[in-house]
């Protein structure tokens, strides 16, 4: 049995924690203290850290954690990384929990150039590339790169649960309500989801169907992303 729980940090980040028995894997620990405390509180054993990209709110906790837990860190190559890590790239496989879970790595440049996502066992950890009803801001790549990266989600098992790093769903829906003025779908979604504390994970199938960042033409995508940047 695999459970995935969020450790909320900062304004709207989640450090997703996969739990198998008493063992765990954490993804993108932006801070160390909340992770260490969580493991102490529930008597859990951390076994690995996965990193999607180099932004500080995704890696800031690594040093503090590996000072206390000597566990492997998996990350894409980045010249700024000064911690010890196993470098992974497109199609790398990572075995976790004594081979109970295998993740494949998919490269998705756009938000940053080295950004990767992890997929396996109907779990998808997508960092800051895909958000529920949105996508990441394009900081380092081009619109074309981000568009091509988002198209890669179409070949992932649609029954996968989508674990994004930020709670942006309602903000994204606000934007879509405003952008697609005659569309009541986003208004309804907004009303439904505004009652929940946590809107994640979402389901990839639903994102493929109703997230316009995933199912638009390139020109539509670019317009949408530019409008979102100014929203
Ligand atoms: Zn980021």
Tens-digit pLDDT profile for residues 9-62: 999 999 999 999 999 999 999 999 999 999 999 999 999 999 999 999 999 999
CA of 139 from ligand 1 middle (Å) equals: 8
CA of 147 to the centre of ligand 1 (A): 17
- Kindly give the distance from the C-alpha atom of residue 157 to the centroid of ligand 1, in angstroms, as a whole number: 24
Ligand 1 centroid from CA 30, angstroms: 11
Digits of tens for pLDDT over the chain (231 positions)? 899 999 999 999 999 999 999 999 999 999 999 999 999 999 999 999 999 999 999 999 999 999 999 999 999 999 999 999 999 999 999 999 999 999 999 999 999 999 999 999 999 999 999 999 999 999 999 999 999 999 999 999 999 999 999 999 999 999 999 999 888 999 999 999 998 889 999 999 999 999 999 999 999 999 999 999 999
Question: In the sheet that 123-127 helps form, which strands lie side by side, from edge to edge?
Answer: 93-96, 101-107, 116-120, 123-127, 161-164, 202-203
pLDDT for position 182: 81
**How many Å lie between the centroid of ligand 1 and the Cα of residue 54?**
7
How remote is the CA of residue 151 from the centroid of ligand 1, in Å? 19
Going from the Cα of 56 to the center of ligand 1, the distance in angstroms, rounded, reads 8
Give residue 183's pLDDT.
86
Ligand 1 centre and the CA of 182: distance in Å?
32
Considering the domain delimited by 3-230, tell me its CATH architecture. Answer: 4-Layer Sandwich (3.60)
Kindly give the distance from the C-alpha atom of residue 57 to the centroid of ligand 1, in angstroms, as a whole number: 7
> What pLDDT is stored for residue 197 in this prediction?
87
Cα radius of gyration rounded to whole Å, the chain? 17
Both structure tokens of 131: 């958000």
pLDDT score recorded for residue 71? 98
- What was the pLDDT predicted at 157? 98
Residue 156 in 3-state DSSP? Answer: coil
- Distance (angstroms) between ligand 1 centre and the Cα of 21 equals 30
Q: How far is CA 57 from CA 12, 54, 114, 166, 192, in A?
A: 10, 8, 16, 10, 29
Domain boundaries in the chain? 3-230
CA max distance for the chain: 54
The structure tokens listed for 42 are 């529930």
What's the 128 CA to ligand 1 centre distance in angstroms?
A: 5
Other CB atoms within a 10 A radius of the CB of residue 28 amount to: 27
Q: Are the CB atoms for 48 and 74 separated by under 8 Å?
A: yes
Q: Do 18 and 2 touch, CB atoms closer than 8 A?
A: yes
13 CA from centroid of ligand 1 (Å): 10
Q: At what angle do helices 218-230 and 143-151 cross, to 10 degrees?
A: 120
């Amino acid at each position: 049995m695999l459970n995935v729980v969020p450790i909320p940090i900062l304004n709207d980040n989640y450090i997703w924690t996969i739990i198998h028995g008493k063992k765990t894997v954490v993804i993108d620990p932006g801070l160390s203290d909340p992770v260490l405390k969580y493991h102490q509180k529930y008597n859990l054993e951390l076994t690995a850290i996965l990193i999607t990209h180099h932004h500080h709110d995704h890696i800031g906790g690594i040093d503090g954690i590996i000072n206390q837990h000597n566990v492997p860190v998996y990350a894409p190559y980045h010249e700024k990384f000064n911690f010890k890590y196993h470098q992974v790239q497109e199609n790398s496989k990572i075995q976790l929990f004594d081979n109970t879970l295998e993740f494949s790595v998919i490269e998705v440049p756009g938000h940053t150039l080295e950004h990767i996502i992890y997929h396996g066992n109907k779990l998808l950890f997508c960092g800051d590339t895909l958000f529920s009803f949105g996508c990441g801001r394009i900081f380092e790549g081009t619109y074309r790169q981000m568009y091509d990266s988002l198209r890669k989600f179409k070949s992932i098992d649609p029954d996968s649960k989508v674990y994004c790093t930020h709670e942006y769903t309602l903000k994204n829906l606000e934007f879509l309500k405003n952008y697609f003025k005659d569309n009541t779908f986003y208004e309804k979604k907004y009303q439904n989801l505004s009652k929940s504390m946590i809107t994640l994970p979402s389901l990839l199938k639903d994102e493929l169907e109703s997230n316009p960042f995933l199912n638009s033409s390139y020109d539509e995508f670019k317009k949408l992303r530019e409008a979102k940047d100014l929203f």
